[in-house]
Amino acid sequence: MKIVGLLPYWINMAEGGAVHNTIDMQSLFLLTGANGGGKSSLLRSICAAALLGICGLTVRAESALIPYFDSIMLHTKSYDSPADHKSSFQVEMSELRSIITRTTQRSLVLVDEICRGTEAAKGTCIAGSIIETLDSIGCLASIWSLDSAQNNLVNNYELLQK
Ligand SMILES: Nc1ncnc2c1ncn2[C@@H]1O[C@H](COP(=O)(O)OP(=O)(O)OP(=O)(O)O)[C@@H](O)[C@H]1O
Ligand SMILES: [Mg+2]
């Protein structure tokens, strides 16, 4: 997937200050950055661009090369569901289980900072194992934004590639 000059769909160009992003990615992509750096916005923008692109509609970018995806799955923030007797961690894990069981080699999977409310080492292990599972499925594109405590996963993943 290659998108040049991508803009978040909710930003008003007339107000100025919009930053154009370019992505050129295959398979798995780990995104790290400071708080407020624009990670979640980039994930949502890519998600919207992919959805518009596979529907044959205009993408808010200078150019976009978007492959056919059989599914687009976006996991963003965590919430609890007391009426279902589920804590926020349980809701998050069941959403991630749905993603893992439904991902195919033609899926786009976008995950924004999982296990934020979990102890750092355990959260890193969970994130790492799900990243490796998705990588072994070989989905067409997967983008993960990492919590700052999980940034060391980038080094681990580079080691796995060697
Ligand atoms: N391309 C862009 N151009 C201009 N402003 C942007 C752009 N992308 C994001 N922003 C603005 O930057 C702010 C922070 O973005 P965002 O929430 O995506 O950051 P983040 O890296 O996910 O932060 P956090 O680590 O706290 O979750 C938002 O107010 C958003 O509107
Ligand atoms: Mg964010």
Q: What is the CATH number of the domain that holds 127?
A: 3.40.50.300
The closest alpha carbon to 123, from 55, 131, 30, belongs to 131
159 versus 66: which is more confidently predicted? 66
pLDDT at 156: 73
Going from the Cα of 123 to the center of ligand 2, the distance in angstroms, rounded, reads 16
The whole-model pTM stands at 0.90
pLDDT tens, residue by residue, 78-115: 889 999 999 999 999 999 999 999 999 999 999 998 88
Going from the Cα of 40 to the center of ligand 2, the distance in angstroms, rounded, reads 4
Per-residue confidence at 46, pLDDT binned at 50, 70, 90? very high
Q: In testing the pocket of ligand 1, which one of 41, 77, 115, 146 has its CB within 8 Å of the most ligand atoms?
A: 41
pLDDT at 162: 47
- Rounded Cα–Cα distance for residues 72 and 140 (Å): 11
Instruction: Print the domain residue range for 80.
Output: 2-161
Q: Indicate the average pLDDT of the chain.
A: 89
- Rounded Cα–Cα distance for residues 84 and 137 (Å): 31
- Whether residue 88 contacts residue 117, with contact meaning beta carbons closer than 8 Å, is answered with yes
pLDDT at 151: 77
Q: How many domains does the chain have?
A: 1
